[in-house]
Structure 1
Amino acid sequence: MTSSQLEGAATTTQVAKDMLRSGRQPRDYGERMIYNNYVVMRELKRWLDKPLTPSSIFEIHRKLTEGTLENPDCAGRFRLPTEDIVIEDERGRVLHIPPHADELAQRLQALCDFANESDDGEHFIHPVVRAIIIHFQIGYDHPFVDGNGRTARTLFYWSMLRSGFWMAEYLSISSILRKAPAQYVRSYLYTETDEGDTTYFVSHQLDVILEAIEGVHQYILRKQREQSAAAALLKPGSRLAQQINHRQRAILLNAMKNPGKRFTIEMHRKSHGTSYQTARTDLLGLVDGGFMNQSREGKAFVFFAVEGLQKKLNS
């Protein structure tokens, strides 16, 4: 989500989460960007045992940009000599001129060769640094008309996961980059103006990764606190414990955290990996218990918390 938002997707995180959980199709440009990113991140694992090739990068780019480009024919191919671009700031000042289109095939093949090198070779490069350099090079070369940033960050994750850093699947570097995009841009500029010394970019990205790891730890702590709160609501012998199960408890906690949020049967089914009938029974049970209301939007039923839910639960 944040990788797309970094590139201009205006969809809010909550709306994007609801879209992905409910399984509905994207409604606009921003949602399509997020949906494409989601699909590609889910598919990365099928590329982990294969060497990186220009063809696989084209496939990744095509999936990332499907339905988001002004010219759909630009997906999954190099930019053409007539499509040479420059990177400018908001004032129109030129910050970076990527290599000419005629050089892109050779440069991308060299990048693939670098990405596929063994980490135990004669010239050792730490796999995290290798992943960061892959990220840098796609952004620097700008081989595509659009979608270069999303492709670069996706290949970073591919390289990290391929090297055994399984926790990378749960790290959101884009959420960190989004908070300080100017630092992201400067790390490229410092490298370019200092004879291609990528130390600037590597240092910046290492800081980003560390902050993203801390974000995961904070997320885990937050979830643990939520579980403790849920356990308190369902303490043995309480009347509430006899009325709801752990999935219904998760819904109520989610509703308290996100006032006004709508829930659907399909969203609940996907979140908990259960059957449609079980998800339906869970939500209708909360309606019968007086915790949620039910209405219809189009063909789907939607559920939302009653007013004063927290007070009702506490009582």
Structure 2
Amino acid sequence: MKIPAMPPNIQDILEASFEQDHAKAFQMMSTFQPVDEKGRYLHWDKLRHLPNPDGFSSEQWWCGIKFARSKLYQVLPLVDKYQQPFQYCITDSVQRKLHWLDRYASGSIQTENAITNPQTRSTYLVRSLIEEAINSSQLEGASTTLNVAKEMIRQQRKPSDKSEQMIFNNYRAMQFIREVKDEQLTPSIVFELQRIVTENTLDDNALAGRLRTNRDDIHVVDNASQQILHTPPDAGELEARIERLCKFANSIDDGGDNSFLHPVIKAITLHFMLAYDHPFCDGNGRTARALFYWAMARHGYWLIEFVSISRIIKEAPVQYGKAFLYTETDDNDVTYFLLHQLTVLHRSIEALHSYLDTKSKELSVTEKLFQNNKRLRGKLNFRQIALIRHALKHPRFAYIVQEHQNSHGISYDVARKDLLELSDDLKLLIKTKEGKRYLFVVPPDFEQRISK
């Protein structure tokens, strides 16, 4: 990834256009929209390579687009390292995406029964917390595989290396977010989040939970070329910037001049600003994404608890990075990052519905195995059916109470009762002992036991 081409100076283009042809200059300022004919909110870095509109140069086209955007700009009460404010546009595309989220992420329209049903809600919530923890860590370089990471968290096994520790920390951070989602944001909460995500992963543990200092030479660097992509604000400003960010997060409106600011825009802006300020020596990206989840949960977008934005970001990390750089190189226009994250949210929610649909069909297939079995029909709860479905695909697998407990977000006693019923009462699993703990093993004749 490289720094995008800097846009040309609009004032210079305007002056040159008026000197050449007044009528053409006025046409340039009235012809173009904030987006191109395909509805795309383009940065100069891409627009300069596209075919020019008839009669206009690329620079004039860009000037006309920027003039149209200037009429829509809304100023945020947050500034860059040069004390210049950030701003954004509410385009038709942004409005549509926000409206879609208001319908499908905060209300009850077309929500899945699986995540509104108290019996299954905890299972899918645990799954989403684990998935976001893993993917957010992998974005920052963690290399542990998905299955190994899931096993570590569900069995509460001690992390064996830095990658596993990052994932375990992220899982704890997501749990912490749920605990404080009804609280106002304070610098202490931000520090605690960063301390959690970096615990036992830093060369110097004293760097956890504190702001970087002027002694810490921090830059955002492209791994391939080693080019510096972003130099954050001076360390001496960070305390005041964190305070300002918390005030922004807690305000009712604060879209600038006490105007209304949509809660999703506020949440995405928090994500952007924490990453822009880069207030810590490490863990800034993970902390920024966790703050986004806090803001969405605080404003009632409960469905977002069940999705992983990092999984979608991980599919195209360069686009994620470009969204930051486009903002920084074009008049602090956060619209680029806003549109990127709104698309990520949309895709995350669609992925959730697809996942739930698949799991629902799989469970239905498993339940059909019991239709003609009087011994099992109507005797199994959702968790036990899910375990049986897993057992059919994993012969000789050994289950433990703690893993079943952590997979479904239930108490130890409830998890133990589930497994004892499957072994002692229904004779589907074989109960054995390993040291002080019981193992519940899938027998070789598991399918026959179900069909009896």
Bin for the TM-score computed over the shorter chain: 0.7 to 0.9
SS at match of 1:140: helix
Say whether residues 1:264 and 2:397 are aligned partners: no
Shift of 1:104: 1.3
1:53-87 CA-to-partner distances (Å, cap 9, x unmatched) read 21221111112211121110001111111112111
Any idea what SS the aligned residue of 1:82 has?
A: coil
Which of 324, 342, 347 is the aligned partner of 1:211? Answer: 347
Q: Give the aligned partner of residue 338 of structure 2.
A: 202
Q: Shift in Å at residue 27 of structure 1?
A: 2.6
Letter in 1 for 2:225: R
**Equivalent runs, 1:165-244 vs 2, <5 Å:** 165-235=301-371, 237-238=372-373, 241=376
> What amino acid sits opposite 1:15 in the alignment?
V
The answer to whether structure 1 residue 281 and structure 2 residue 420 are counterparts is: yes
Q: Which moved more, 1:43-52 or 1:218-227?
A: 43-52
Deviation at 1:270, TM superposition (A): 3.7
Counterpart selection for 1:123 from 256, 259, 268: 259
Tell whether the 8 Å contact from 1:171 to 1:212 is kept in structure 2 after alignment: yes
Give yes or no for the alignment of 1:82 onto 2:215: yes
- Unpaired segments ≥5 residues, structure 1: none
Rounded Cα–Cα distance in structure 1 between residues aligned with 2:290 and 2:210:
17
SS in 1 for 2:376: helix
Aligned residues: 312
Between stretches 91-100 and 280-289, larger displacement belongs to 280-289
Partner of 1:19: 152
Q: Which amino acid aligns with 2:390?
A: N
Q: Distance in 2 between matches of 1:205 and 1:160?
A: 13
Say whether residues 1:139 and 2:275 are aligned partners. Answer: yes
Larger mean CA deviation between 197-206 and 36-45 belongs to: 36-45
- Whether 2:194 is the aligned partner of 1:61: answer yes
Answering whether residue 241 of structure 2 is matched by residue 107 of structure 1, we say yes
| CA distance in 2: counterparts of 1:243 and 1:110, whole angstroms | 56
**Residues 183 and 72 of structure 1: CA distance in aligned 2, closer, same or farther (over 3 Å):** same
TM-score, length-normalised on structure 2?
0.63
Distance 1:8 1:258, change over 3 A: farther
Contact 1:64/1:151 (8 A) holds in 2: yes
Counterpart for residue 228 of structure 2: 94
Higher helix share: 1
Instruction: Give the counterpart of 1:245 among 380, 383, 386.
Output: 380
Structure 1 contact 255–304 (Cα < 8 Å) conserved: no
Hey, what's the Cα distance between the residues in 1 that align with 2:406 and 2:252? Answer: 38
Contact 1:233–1:240 (CA under 8 A) maintained in structure 2: no
1:306 to 1:293, Cα distance in 2 relative to 1, 3 A: farther
Give the letter aligned to residue 373 of structure 2.
Answer: S
- One-letter amino acid of the structure 1 residue matched with residue 135 of structure 2: T
Answer with 278-287 or 172-181: which moved more. 278-287
How far apart, in 2, do the equivalents of 1:11 and 1:308 lie?
A: 33
How far has the Cα of 1:18 moved from its partner?
A: 2.0
Based on CA coordinates, which of the two structures has the bigger radius of gyration? 2
Greater length-normalized contact order (CA 8 Å, ≥ 6 residues apart) = 2
Q: Do 2:249 and 2:266's aligned partners in 1 also have CA atoms closer than 8 Å?
A: yes
Question: Scaled by the length of structure 1, what TM-score is found?
Answer: 0.88
The one-character-per-residue Cα deviations of 1:159-187 (angstroms, maximum 9, x if unpaired) are: 11111111111121001011111111111
Q: Distance in 1 between matches of 2:365 and 2:425?
A: 18
Whether the aligned pair in 2 keeps the contact of 1:294 and 1:302 (CA below 8 Å) is yes
Task: Find the counterpart in structure 1 of residue 74 from structure 2.
Answer: none
Q: Does the Cα contact within 8 Å between 1:287 and 1:294 map onto a contact in 2?
A: no
Q: Partners in 2 of 1:92 and 1:260 — Cα distance?
A: 49
TM-aligned CA distance change 1:268 to 1:125, over 3 Å: same
- Return the letter of the residue paired with 1:93: Q
Structure 2 unmatched runs, 5+: 1-133
1:8-27 Cα offsets, whole Å, 9 max, x none, are 22222222222222233323
SS at match of 1:145: coil
| Contact 2:367–2:385 (Cα < 8 Å) also in 1 | no
Q: How much does 1:52 deviate?
A: 1.4
CA contact (8 A) 1:22 1:267 kept: yes
Match of 1:117, as an amino acid?
S
- Could you tell me how far 1:189 is from its partner in structure 2? 1.0
Say which SS state the counterpart of residue 229 (structure 2) adopts: strand
User: Please, which of 147, 155, 162 is the counterpart of residue 29 of structure 1?
Assistant: 162
Please give the per-residue CA displacement for 1:66-117, whole angstroms capped at 9, x wherever unaligned.
1121110001111111112111112211111111211211221221111111
The 3 A distance-change label for structure 1 pair 262 and 144 is farther
- Cα pair 2:396 2:444 within 8 Å, conserved: no
What amino acid maps onto 1:161 in structure 2?
A
